[in-house]
Structure 1
């Protein structure tokens, strides 16, 4: 079967029941204060002032200090609640901070933003905008993650009780938008605008730009974004900048885009800071400046941009312009994942799966894979299917594994096509069906999937699901062997009577 797929490199090594084990990409793991002593060596084997030990301590200290700077900003009562978690007591140092910070996200999600003086309603809890929106009274959700049935009911009730409160009309609009009831959503947003809720300008612009329920209309989007931008709505300034950058509905102008991104950033918009980082990284309208790009990414992440948080996570995982630290990567993956970013959910699942920056936790890995799978990430579907097939982190359920493989396979994902074929060929989780298995092996093999090519050779050699054909078996074994598949090479030698050379 195809092996578990990592988020950072989806073209991971594939395995079958006949083909050995895949190797996972590993990153440095700052797991405890004894990390360097355990990995570099304890005296007298290696002295504490040796170059290797000093370098390791420096890396460990950097990770610890950066995490400590973040942790220091967490309220004392939340720190206490997270320190009290039993599992955080087994680690010290940077690894424990990564866990404490992940716990912090859960704790904060249950609390409203302080200092507003307004009562937090069920409408706020169910339909607030996510990210660091200063006008939201609750942490909120990405629109795709709103439980729209509950949110619509709660916001209709809140608006009925307080019909002059623009935020309820706005959040009712978000709930209806999430449910695909776009015309009703538009009417709620218009009502919110009439009640002075400037955030609704952004949503009206998005409805027009993306053509939700109507034909896409960039001119209408520009009009709404300009109204919001003039009212100081940073999201409108950010989106209007994007239209200027692409020349959609307006004359293309990189200069105007930069000016709008900077205005939005001055209003605290994290996405605008993220986009400014991209401009400096890509030398788009400004001189290339990687250090400035990273600085903007940091500011954007701190302001709540899920995209920037994911960017920082990826950079910390690789050591790209920042300290290489799996623990810090986990912190930022967690922040972005909890805002509903599917790519971050996928990579956070992989971190829990492989123990990158924290101890492996299959149940947590399965939870995040499931969230990413719901957003259409085929690698997450594939990995979650492996969990159900193995009973890892979830109850063993071969039928559920087949269902997940099939979803990804029908989307053209070759590792899942291969595994689905194996399940069907063996009759595991579904009735045995060699004809259908042959179909999926062919589809994966045609995408140069070596495991599928080898198994397709087996099917042709044995006449499984098709008339036996030595010629076709040799052809598929040859393709798999050319990609380094050892069993295919041996099968090719057996059928041809020749010795094929191993690849270097």
Structure 2
């Protein structure tokens, strides 16, 4: 903010010295930051600015000594009261280059965030950050079309994280048709501006070759840079890469665990799920099913989409817990509702394993969800398995799914295509937390 120090003179012989530097935040001029002993001319007073410390809202005092060639120095003091807008507190994002608070993860955004950010946008229409935070709040509330509009407006006004978020929308098909190339273009643009989220997603795309020619070295470098900036998603990617050893990168399980533990310390629910898997397999740590179960349960409580499936497999196989197929079934269905295609596939498999007691329509239902949620085609067998079922269970599953829709959608093509389309529509209708992926 501009300090607007009112000096009753434009005499070039008058100068100012910083006598009392604020306890938090930074004083600066357009060409330099000021130190506790800095001096400035009368002409520079107009462009003197103060930037509060992120998250700080306590009053601060700035003191100056006004000097002239003749006469004693005169003191001047300013009291500042920086405030953090309620929208920032409700929907600010971690590591946002233009943010003013430590930020919240998507699962931490509350129900009142939309109202608070709408008020901020109305009060400060030129502040792009508030439009982006409104977009985050709307996304958490499941209002996808409104969220996309707010995020686009923020990007158009120069908010860097909003550029990344547009890439996310295209990558996941949230409110727009999924388009990996468009997503990558936004990710690359955000990464070029130093955004750690953009670095992570662009690095991931390059490392794995998602919609772009693979460049393992550049991808890994971007992920490491994002992790060094504190981005837990990059830590999770690196944890998975070093756990297994991928694309020519040598496995280093101790390093993998270090990345995941850093994520858990930052309360990242994905780190919890991944580290739990390491405790189950004993990769990089001593096997500890109880530690795995605790991490999976905490991640589930935070809304993580894949953790229910992780815990379900423990109950299905009786690993670290007493075998309980009913509990496994419940957890796989919870995973499906959160958008986990592997959880849906395992739920279908669980049904098919019942033999003569199997409800084939249920198996078809969860295979349809598997294909509908599998945007990267990571489970190609699901589509082939679905095709093997007869007309009767498919018709029953389709009828049930259509009955769950609140509004009709146009359907065409094979029964399998109709099943997948309706399953996707049923999932979207439930306003899932798609911002968690």
> Normalising by structure 1, what TM-score?
0.44
Aligned equivalent of 1:171: 133
Q: Distance in 2 between matches of 1:416 and 1:132?
A: 49
On the 8 A contact 1:270/1:304 being kept in 2, the answer is: no
Which residue of 295, 308, 317 corresponds with 2:258?
295
Q: Distance in 1 between matches of 2:127 and 2:264?
A: 31
Evaluate the alpha carbon distance shift between residue 132 and residue 321 of structure 1 in structure 2; reply closer, same or farther with a 3 A threshold. farther
Deviation (angstroms), 1:224: 1.9
Aligned equivalent of 2:39: none
Structure 2 unpaired stretches of 5+: 1-53, 58-82, 361-384, 390-437
Which residue of 186, 196, 201 corresponds with 2:148?
186
Aligned equivalent of 1:121: 86
Q: Distance in 2 between matches of 1:152 and 1:241?
A: 31
Aligned equivalent of 1:323: 286
Aligned equivalent of 1:222: 184
Note the aligned Cα RMSD (angstroms).
5.0
Q: Give 3-state SS (helix, strand or coil) of 2:133's partner.
A: helix
Deviation (angstroms), 1:215: 4.1
> Does residue 205 of structure 2 align to residue 238 of structure 1?
no
On the 8 A contact 1:272/1:300 being kept in 2, the answer is: no
On the 8 A contact 1:273/1:297 being kept in 2, the answer is: yes
Q: Distance in 1 between matches of 2:267 and 2:192?
A: 23
The count of corresponding residues between Structure 1 and Structure 2 is: 286
**Cα-to-partner distance string for 1:141-172 (whole Å, 9 max, x where unaligned):** 34xx9788x65444323422343444431132
Evaluate the alpha carbon distance shift between residue 122 and residue 191 of structure 1 in structure 2; reply closer, same or farther with a 3 A threshold. closer
Aligned equivalent of 1:255: 217
Q: Distance in 2 between matches of 1:335 and 1:293?
A: 20
**Cα-to-partner distance string for 1:388-433 (whole Å, 9 max, x where unaligned):** xxxxxxxxxxxxxxxxxxxx66x983257866759xxxxxxxxxxx
Which residue of 172, 182, 203 corresponds with 2:165?
203
Structure 1 unpaired stretches of 5+: 1-113, 384-407, 423-442, 448-504
Deviation (angstroms), 1:237: 0.3
Structure 1 residues 72-471: aligned runs within 5 Å? 115-117=55-57, 119=84, 121=86, 124-125=89-90, 127=91, 139-142=104-107, 151-177=113-139, 182=144, 184-194=146-156, 197-280=159-242, 281-348=244-311, 371-372=334-335, 374-375=337-338, 413-414=351-352
Q: Distance in 2 between matches of 1:225 and 1:204?
A: 8
Structure with a larger share of its residues in strand: 2
> Normalising by structure 2, what TM-score?
0.50
Q: Distance in 2 between matches of 1:376 and 1:230?
A: 31
Structure 1 residues 460-499: aligned runs within 5 Å? none
Q: Give 3-state SS (helix, strand or coil) of 1:413's partner.
A: helix
Q: Give 3-state SS (helix, strand or coil) of 2:306's partner.
A: helix
On the 8 A contact 2:148/2:175 being kept in 1, the answer is: no
Q: Distance in 2 between matches of 1:184 and 1:119?
A: 25
Q: Distance in 2 between matches of 1:311 and 1:369?
A: 17
- Structure of higher RCO (CA pairs closer than 8 Å, 6+ residues apart): 1
Evaluate the alpha carbon distance shift between residue 269 and residue 381 of structure 1 in structure 2; reply closer, same or farther with a 3 A threshold. closer
